[in-house]
Amino acid sequence: METKKQRVFSGIRPTGGLHIGNYLGSIKQWVDLQDQSNDCVFAVVDYHALTTHQENLGKNSINLAKWVIASGVDPQKSPIILQSQISEHTELAWIFTCLEPLGELYRMTQFKEKKTGIKEGAVKTGLLAYPLLMAADILLYQTEIVPVGEDQKQHIELARNIAQKFNRKFGKVFTEPKVRLSEAPKVMSLKNPKKKMSKTDTNGIALLDSAEQIKAKIMLAVTDSAPGNEMSQGIKNLFALIKIFAPELLANFEKEYENKTIKYIDLKTELTLAIGKHLQPIQAKYSQISAGEILNVFRASREKILPLAQKTLSEVKKAIGIL
Ligand code: TYM
């Protein structure tokens, strides 16, 4: 049976140092969706990164696109755009800032987290308006599916809500997008499994890590002192990683866990080997891609997808009476 091609859009911020949470939560499912012949567009969202990271943006954007390609996204099939090169994103975002009430933005969990520790008056406007630019990214391409990690779910729901409200008020212009979570939508920190793995987490496994670095980090992963009935967060996280990187070993470790015969050192050793084996070809490919190639990918991707962005924006303007 032939399934209908769907429009897929997703993005990542070029804030440096991708980790396996980013890879498992987003990029890996980008590759899967592309390989199922969907119409995908992926973005390096540098204007989103600008809200928190103002250094090395250009270099980080290039390196991020290298990781996306090295992981299996084929820019011939799926355009990889640099957000700032398609001004329709910021133009549509401005329209949304004029339509959306502040209350919707104040309730965003990520905004609450990111403004923590910053004096009230010093919080940047861009941090608050961030989800509106994200909604513009998604809605500009008439997106049906948005593959992301759990932490972005609320933003996608907001984008869907913005589309619904706009369509009701001005006539149907936007497709209503749906979130798609991966098998590992929330990879937790190895050191503190109550928190998600993040770019600031020094024990997070970076895509660039060597076999020794991976080993050192996995060996330090928090487990629990004695296997009990209630599985700890740390163990759950290690099992979730085994399920993806070494699925053939999962049933056996689960059985050992149940029988209370499991040795975490064995699980950690196998996981270290499996992650290293998975990342090795990606790292090899990453090192072969030049910055020049990426600039060409950005240029060609923009050319390919710009007509769709222009079409949507002109429909939006027409609907609201902007001449
Ligand atoms: P960003 O750059 O913070 O993260 C990129 C992707 O990685 C996922 N992720 C994780 N998944 C599982 N476990 C983790 N520990 C983990 N940490 C991060 C994120 O959920 C995300 O999918 N706002 C977005 C970027 C963006 C975007 C968009 C995404 C801008 N416009 C439009 C989709 C559609 C962000 O900050 O992602």
How sure is the predictor about 229, in pLDDT bands with cuts at 50, 70 and 90? low
Q: Which two tokens stand for residue 152?
A: 């972005």
318: annotated active-site residue: no
With a cut of 60, say whether residue 225 has pLDDT above it: no
Of all helices (H) and strands (E), which one includes residue 81? strand 80-82
How far apart, in whole angstroms, are the C-alpha atoms of residue 98 and residue 119? 25
How sure is the predictor about 158, in pLDDT bands with cuts at 50, 70 and 90? very high
Is residue 215 domain-shared with residue 281, that is, in the same domain?
Answer: yes
Is residue 70 domain-shared with residue 13, that is, in the same domain?
Answer: yes
**Mean pLDDT across 9-30:** 96
Is residue 217 domain-shared with residue 158, that is, in the same domain?
Answer: no
Is residue 162 domain-shared with residue 176, that is, in the same domain?
Answer: yes
How sure is the predictor about 2, in pLDDT bands with cuts at 50, 70 and 90? low
The answer to whether residue 202 is domain-embedded is: no
Q: Which domain holds residue 235?
A: 211-286
User: What is the domain-level CATH number for residue 34?
Assistant: 3.40.50.620
Is residue 102 domain-shared with residue 180, that is, in the same domain?
Answer: yes
Residue 177, marked binder: no
Share of the chain above pLDDT 90, in %: 92
The answer to whether residue 130 is domain-embedded is: yes
**Mean pLDDT across 289-307:** 98
How far apart, in whole angstroms, are the C-alpha atoms of residue 242 and residue 103? 41
Ligand 1 contacts CB of residue 138 (under 6 A): yes
- Dihedrals phi, psi of 40, to nearest 5 degrees: -105, 145
How sure is the predictor about 230, in pLDDT bands with cuts at 50, 70 and 90? confident
196: annotated active-site residue: yes
Residue 23 is given by DSSP the state: I
Ligand 1 contacts CB of residue 189 (under 6 A): no
Kindly give the distance from the C-alpha atom of residue 39 to the centroid of ligand 1, in angstroms, as a whole number: 20
Q: What's the pLDDT at 120?
A: 87
Ligand 1 contacts CB of residue 152 (under 6 A): yes
The answer to whether residue 192 is domain-embedded is: no
Kindly give the distance from the C-alpha atom of residue 108 to the centroid of ligand 1, in angstroms, as a whole number: 15
Provide the residue type at 226 as one letter: A
Q: Catalytic residue among 115, 124, 153, 199, which?
A: 199
191: annotated active-site residue: no
Q: What's the pLDDT at 254?
A: 95
Kindly give the distance from the C-alpha atom of residue 320 to the centroid of ligand 1, in angstroms, as a whole number: 31
Is residue 136 domain-shared with residue 86, that is, in the same domain?
Answer: yes
List pLDDT tens digits, range 77-110.
Answer: 999 999 999 999 999 999 999 999 999 999 999 9
- DSSP H helical segments within the chain, as ranges? 20-22, 28-35, 46-49, 57-70, 88-99, 102-106, 109-115, 125-140, 153-170, 211-219, 233-245, 247-258, 264-288, 291-320
Q: What's the pLDDT at 1?
A: 52
List pLDDT tens digits, range 30-59.
Answer: 999 999 999 999 999 999 999 999 899 999
- CB burial readout 198-222, b (16+ within 10 A) else e: eeebebbbbbbbeeeebbebbeebb
Total domains in the fold of the chain: 2
Residue 168, marked binder: no
List pLDDT tens digits, range 180-206.
Answer: 999 999 999 999 999 999 988 888 999
Is residue 117 domain-shared with residue 72, that is, in the same domain?
Answer: yes
Is residue 296 domain-shared with residue 277, that is, in the same domain?
Answer: no
How far apart, in whole angstroms, are the C-alpha atoms of residue 194 and residue 298? 37
- Single pTM value for the model: 0.96
The answer to whether residue 204 is domain-embedded is: no
Is residue 164 domain-shared with residue 216, that is, in the same domain?
Answer: no
Distances (CA, A) of 79 to 9, 185, 229, 280: 10, 24, 47, 25
The residue among 178 and 4 whose pLDDT is bigger is 178
Residue 223, classed as helix, strand or coil, is coil
Q: What's the pLDDT at 301?
A: 98
Ligand 1 contacts CB of residue 27 (under 6 A): no
List pLDDT tens digits, range 251-276.
Answer: 999 999 999 999 999 999 999 999 99
When the pLDDT of each residue in the chain is averaged and rounded to a whole number, the result is 95
**Mean pLDDT across 300-322:** 98
The answer to whether residue 259 is domain-embedded is: yes
Residue 183, marked binder: no
Is residue 274 domain-shared with residue 316, that is, in the same domain?
Answer: no
Is residue 217 domain-shared with residue 110, that is, in the same domain?
Answer: no
Other beta carbons within 10 Å of 4: 6
With a cut of 90, say whether residue 17 has pLDDT above it: no
Kindly give the distance from the C-alpha atom of residue 184 to the centroid of ligand 1, in angstroms, as a whole number: 13
The answer to whether residue 200 is domain-embedded is: no
Q: What's the pLDDT at 218?
A: 97
List pLDDT tens digits, range 115-141.
Answer: 999 998 999 999 999 999 999 999 999
The answer to whether residue 189 is domain-embedded is: no
Ligand 1 contacts CB of residue 25 (under 6 A): yes
Q: Which two tokens stand for residue 39?
A: 């119409």
Counting atoms of ligand 1 from 1, which one is nearest the CA of 187?
Answer: 13
CA angle, 147 as apex, 184 and 133 as ends, to 5°? Answer: 125
The answer to whether residue 168 is domain-embedded is: yes
Is residue 153 domain-shared with residue 244, that is, in the same domain?
Answer: no
Q: What's the pLDDT at 226?
A: 56
Q: Are 44 and 81 in contact (CB under 8 A)?
A: yes
